[in-house]
Structure 1
Amino acid sequence: MNYEDDSLLISSYQDGNEDALQTLIEKYKGRIYSFIYSKVLDRDVTEDIFQDTFVKVILTLKGGKYNDEGKFLPWVMRIAHNLTIDYFRLNKRFNVIHESSNYSEDYNIFDYIGVMDECSETKIIKDQIDCDLKKLVKQLPDDQREVLELRIFKDLSFKEIAEETDVSINTALGRMRYALINLRKVIENNNIILTVD
């Protein structure tokens, strides 16, 4: 894999070429998707975490917060890893490793120890970010705002969002994509600086 190509695609995307991100997604989708699935063992959950991973990627790239060191894939994998841990924390359940199952060297019990701990300072910061984000989201068109709120604030899967809003999954995903593009414009117009881990 050519990491120099990744840098060119990232620059192109940051310059407004939306197709460049699609090329990056297609290039690494298999590896990222397989990694997430190996942890959660559920295709719907894997799809949701995969989509959320690229939501973070988009916000970071468009916010100019990405430092390109030729390590795009490891960076995206770390985001996917952190979102997978968040999934287990929110659902208060963990992978069970049976003797008969295939043991993955990627699995590390220490990744999961302590994920239930969340200091009060972190909670306060997250609550403030949620509050600020809700104000920004209100500036979006109704159909885009609805999808974004259902995904971020109600934690529905895209399948559930499609059923709730009576549209196809592709339409729900499309609305989410446009919601993020428009949200970026709102953020830029208000000179808001976002820091995404």
Structure 2
Amino acid sequence: MYQEYGEQLRRMLWGVVGDANLVQDIIQTTFRKLVEMGHETEAETRKAWLFQVAYREGLSHRRRQTAHKKLIDRLQEAQSTEAVSAEDPLVRQEVADTVREAIEELSPDLQQVLRMRIYEDKTFAQIAEQLDIPIGTALGRMRNATIKLRAKLAWTQRDA
């Protein structure tokens, strides 16, 4: 199937993500899913299933990239100084590392809700359903995560 559809998938994914390395990664993920779950599909619909999985993987990655970029941009605006340009790649990397460390310091419950909301772009209803918790709990965990991150990042900014 890779020989038959690989090039078509590559062209389709190029239009979705526009990065050759990422396209190859998504194709590998798609064919891994085919090996894992392909036996559950009908033979005559397998091509459509394959393209649908690849397309969804591409969109999912694009959403995560967009969410990550928005988060970094917001934090850079908050931490920008006149002496250092926010467009400097080193500053962007430092901010990303600082945010990553701050997230890792949160409790696993708060991390899970934060990642599902920001990186997976899930609604609070979806998060509550997936975690089997009330929607108020999901909202509360997100609020707590946000408060703790703000406090940690404000403290980090004062140290700089």
Fold-level similarity (TM above 0.5): no
- Taking structure 2 as the reference length, the TM-score comes to 0.39
* Structure having the higher Rg: 2
Query: More helix by proportion, 1 or 2?
Result: 2
- Taking structure 1 as the reference length, the TM-score comes to 0.32
* Bigger relative CO (Cα 8 Å, ≥ 6 apart): 1
